[in-house]
């Protein structure tokens, strides 16, 4: 095999310029794919963390049917104290979970004493909310260290503008509880909150104890449990660990809870999927480049060396050895192009990080993309290119091995 | 020993069958120095290709060292050539990316898979034999025609073949070099008892061989043994 590789290497050097051109094409293709993957991966990771860390969390648990009717924020689909205890017990024993927070959601009337409008509200425990959603505070138009106290409200930005309310203004919230009893409470505006895409993205926030007062609840109940994982890569594992909750049935034999990952809860996941599809499309383009360039160079190589193939065949070289000779030439082109492409990609990504690509997202500006090459991505791209180089060489190699020595020797 | 029995070779030229070798019966013994002569198109090269196991006859049997080579598949035929047959071509057909040493080494590595020490010993001996020891690191494009043919001879002999086929080996060489090459092949034939079979027009070869087989239109018209 060593000698086949040696022969193949020398044959590649024989048409040095053509070999360099072909290998360059592969190199550029590999670089394009890897740099795109690094940039899009960085952008994706950033967007995902924005969505999960500022509102959704990684996993949410609701009472069955809540998400289907989330537009109405139904109070009859809240999780009661007993059910919450079961959930808490399971969450506390899971080592992959960093923290969780409880939310009690409701619809209410928002009044500034001169006008009123409907508003969707989240009742939260501010400390747990901040622990579970580390970027939550970045959505706030307030400089306060504590995000919310009892008796305060964070007003959605659009409502604040529409109703012309400012920080420290007093407003009234009026809500109807499950029994039809109407209640109203005064709140001080603590600040406004930036909207975000996805369910609950335009909701206001008050303290969970205030919701209990507003709805005159005697016992604990929550609309959703929002979970943050220590590492998002454990999402599937934790989803699996939470399966026992889905096994809990009510008296009618139906599941009591539903569990959703962030992927099911935000339309942004479709953008992630689109980025993934673009990633695949670019890989297909790379495969085409490698396939066509290696196929072209190998076909040329066979046609130029017909007499030489006839000579080595006449000397007793078996068809399988001739096949191996040409396959290893294609393989070497692929390996060389991949190695060079990978090396240049690492250098390029390093330079991008040094220069720093800046962009704005929502209220945040001057964000810096932090691309990095993932080892598994590099391996996948390398393996694809090398396999395709080999596949592209199969047809020319077979043609070479099937040449009749007599016909081949007649060629000039 | 080579034995051809009723060998025919027919080429299809469109709708026409062209019978280039007709009922060839031929026996060549070990160590013979034979020339197949005849006018262009007489079938010399075809006979060489058939008994050199490069081509298969349309019918008839070709026995080489007792093996009916017409029954072998492509791979077995290649292996058979690698073990038993050497070729010397008119235009030398050296591999341009390999130097002199490596060209001679090629069949030992790629075909016979000999260990390095044995390869080296055999190559150095042959390089001395063909007087190319000083040029062993040169590439084919750095050699003269005569030197290239010497390398081709060494390459043909390095596997210790029983038979060497040479198709017009002196056609691209000047007279002096041709004579040197013929002498070299003669000496090797005597030293190793290798059978040499030439397809040639070259009078210098014809006068040097022990046996002259004349072919006209695919038929042997004469088979003369010459007493040296």
How near does any CA of chain B get to the CA of A293, in Å? 23
Interface check for A321 against chain B (CB to CB < 8 A): the answer is yes
Chain B CA closest to residue A408 = B54
CA-wise closest residue to B41 among B12, B19, B17: B19
- Does residue B152 surpass a pLDDT of 70? yes
DSSP category for residue B144: -
Give tens-digit pLDDT for A118-144. 999 999 999 999 999 988 887 887 655
CA-wise closest residue to A56 among A242, A269, A251: A269
Q: Do A317 and B82 touch (CB under 8 A)?
A: yes
Q: Do B110 and A406 touch (CB under 8 A)?
A: no
Looking at residues A79-94, what average pLDDT do you find?
90
Q: Contact, A227 vs A92, CB < 8 A?
A: no
Give tens-digit pLDDT for A284-331. 888 888 888 888 888 888 888 899 899 999 999 999 999 999 999 999
| Chain B hits for A318, Cβ within 8 Å | 75, 78-79
Looking at residues A257-275, what average pLDDT do you find?
86
How near does any CA of chain B get to the CA of A333, in Å? 17
Q: Do A317 and B110 touch (CB under 8 A)?
A: yes
- Specify burial of residue B121 (Cβ count, 10 A radius: 0-12, 13-18, 19+): exposed
Q: Mean pLDDT in chain A? A: 88
Interface check for B97 against chain A (CB to CB < 8 A): the answer is yes
* pTM for this predicted structure: 0.72
Q: Contact, B50 vs B215, CB < 8 A?
A: no
- Total domains in the fold of chain B: 1
Domain at B163, CATH number:
3.40.50.300
Does residue B174 or residue B62 have the better pLDDT?
B62
The reported pLDDT for the residue numbered B126 is 87
- Domain extent at residue B122: 2-225
CA–chain centroid gap for A230, Å, is 16
Q: Among all chains, which residue has been given the structure tokens 């706030």? A: A140
Tokens standing for B88? 């010397």
Tokens standing for B217? 């239109």
Task: Provide the b/e sequence for A177-192 (b: ≥16 CB within 10 Å).
Answer: eeeeeeeebebebbbb
- In angstroms, rounded to a whole number, what is the distance separating the alpha carbons of residues A330 and A309? 16
The shortest CB-CB distance from B97 to any of A11, A313, A405 is to A11
The reported pLDDT for the residue numbered A365 is 66
pLDDT-derived band at B120, boundaries 50, 70, 90:
very high
| Chain B hits for A314, Cβ within 8 Å | 52, 54, 81, 87
Q: Do B89 and A311 touch (CB under 8 A)?
A: yes
Instruction: Give Cβ neighbours of residue A172 (< 8 Å, ≥ 6 apart).
Output: A110, A111, A113, A184, A185, A186, A187
Instruction: Classify the phi-psi angles of A249: left when phi > 0, otherwise alpha if psi is within -120 to 50, otherwise beta.
Output: beta
CA of B225: how far to CAs of B19, B26, B95, in Å?
A: 27, 13, 36
The reported pLDDT for the residue numbered A364 is 62
- In angstroms, rounded to a whole number, what is the distance separating the alpha carbons of residues B213 and A404? 27
- In angstroms, rounded to a whole number, what is the distance separating the alpha carbons of residues A16 and A29? 20
pLDDT-derived band at A342, boundaries 50, 70, 90:
very high
The reported pLDDT for the residue numbered A412 is 65
The reported pLDDT for the residue numbered A196 is 74
List, in sequence order, every residue forming a beta bridge with B224; answer none if it has no partner.
Answer: B212
How near does any CA of chain B get to the CA of A343, in Å? 29
The reported pLDDT for the residue numbered B140 is 93
CA A129, A133, A136, A138 dihedral sign is positive
Q: Do B96 and A406 touch (CB under 8 A)?
A: no
pLDDT-derived band at A145, boundaries 50, 70, 90:
very low
The reported pLDDT for the residue numbered A171 is 95
Lowest mean per-residue pLDDT among A35-49, A293-307, A363-377, B200-214? A363-377
Tokens standing for A62? 């609701």
Pairing of the two strands A59-63 and A224-229: antiparallel
Q: Do B96 and A7 touch (CB under 8 A)?
A: no
- Does residue B9 surpass a pLDDT of 80? yes
The reported pLDDT for the residue numbered A294 is 85
- Does residue A68 surpass a pLDDT of 50? yes
Q: Among all chains, which residue has been given the structure tokens 């009661």? A: A80
Q: What is the CA radius of gyration of chain A?
A: 32
The reported pLDDT for the residue numbered A67 is 86
List, in sequence order, every residue forming a beta bridge with A187; answer none if it has no partner.
Answer: A171
Helix or strand (DSSP H, E) at A224:
strand A224-229
- In angstroms, rounded to a whole number, what is the distance separating the alpha carbons of residues A67 and A157? 24
């Amino acid at each position: 095999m060593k000698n086949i590789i040696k022969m193949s290497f020398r044959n590649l050097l024989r048409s040095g310029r053509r070999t360099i051109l072909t290998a360059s094409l592969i190199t550029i293709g590999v670089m394009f794919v890897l740099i795109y993957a690094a940039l899009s991966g960085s952008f994706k990771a950033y967007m995902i963390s924005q969505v999960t860390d500022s509102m959704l969390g990684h996993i949410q648990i609701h009472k069955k049917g809540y998400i289907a009717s989330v537009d109405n924020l139904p109070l009859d689909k809240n999780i009661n104290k007993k059910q919450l205890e079961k959930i808490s017990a399971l969450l506390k024993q899971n080592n992959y979970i960093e923290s969780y927070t409880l939310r009690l959601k409701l619809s209410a009337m928002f009044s500034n004493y001169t006008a009123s409008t409907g508003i969707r509200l989240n009742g939260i425990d501010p400390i747990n909310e901040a622990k579970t959603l580390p970027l939550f505070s970045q959505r706030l138009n307030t400089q306060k260290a504590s995000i919310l106290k009892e008796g305060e409200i964070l007003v959605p930005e659009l409502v604040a503008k529409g109703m012309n309310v400012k920080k420290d203004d007093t407003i009234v919230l009026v809500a109807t509880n499950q029994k039809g009893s109407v209640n109203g409470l005064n709140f001080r505006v603590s600040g406004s909150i930036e909207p975000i895409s996805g369910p609950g993205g335009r909701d206001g926030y008050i303290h969970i104890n205030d919701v209990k007062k507003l709805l005159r609840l005697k016992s604990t109940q929550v609309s959703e449990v929002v979970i943050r994982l220590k590492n998002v890569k454990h999402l599937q594992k934790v989803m699996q660990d939470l399966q026992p909750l889905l096994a809990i049935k009510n008296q009618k034999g139906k599941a009591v809870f539903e569990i959703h990952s962030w992927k099911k809860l935000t339309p942004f996941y479709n953008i992630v999927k689109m980025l993934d599809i673009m990633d695949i499309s670019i890989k297909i383009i790379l495969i085409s480049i490698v396939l066509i360039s290696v196929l072209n160079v190998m076909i040329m190589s066979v046609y130029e060396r017909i007499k030489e193939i006839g000579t080595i065949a006449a000397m007793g070289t078996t068809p399988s050895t001739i096949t191996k000779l040409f396959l290893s030439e294609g393989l070497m082109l692929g390996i060389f192009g991949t190695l060079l492409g990978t090396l240049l990609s690492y250098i390029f990504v390093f330079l991008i990080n040094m220069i720093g690509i800046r962009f704005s997202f929502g209220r945040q500006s001057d964000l810096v993309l932090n691309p990095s090459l993932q080892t598994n991505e590099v391996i996948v791209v390398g393996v694809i290119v090398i396999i395709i180089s080999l596949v592209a060489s199969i047809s020319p190699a077979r043609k070479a091995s099937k040449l009749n020595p007599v016909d081949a020797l007649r060629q000039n | 020993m080579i034995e051809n029995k009723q060998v025919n070779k027919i080429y299809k030229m469109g709708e026409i069958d062209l019978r280039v070798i007709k009922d060839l019966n031929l026996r060549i013994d070990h160590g013979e120095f034979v020339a197949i002569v005849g006018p262009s198109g007489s079938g010399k090269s075809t006979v060489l290709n058939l008994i050199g196991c490069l081509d298969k006859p349309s019918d008839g049997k070709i026995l080489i060292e007792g093996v009916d080579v017409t029954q072998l598949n492509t791979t077995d035929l290649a292996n058979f050539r690698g073990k038993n047959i050497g070729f010397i071509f008119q235009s030398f057909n050296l591999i341009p990316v390999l130097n002199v040493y490596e060209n001679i080494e090629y069949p030992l590595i790629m075909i016979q898979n000999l260990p390095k020490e044995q390869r080296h010993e055999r190559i150095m001996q042959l390089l001395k034999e063909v007087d190319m020891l000083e040029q062993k690191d040169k590439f084919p494009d750095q050699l003269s025609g005569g030197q290239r043919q010497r390398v081709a001879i060494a390459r043909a002999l390095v596997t210790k073949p029983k038979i060497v086929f040479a198709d017009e080996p002196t056609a691209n060489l000047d007279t002096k070099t041709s004579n040197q090459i013929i002498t070299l092949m003669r000496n090797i034939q005597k030293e190793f008892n290798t059978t040499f079979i030439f397809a040639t027009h070259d009078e210098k070869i014809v006068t040097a061989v022990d046996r002259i087989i004349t072919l006209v239109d695919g038929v042997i018209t004469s088979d003369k043994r010459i007493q040296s």
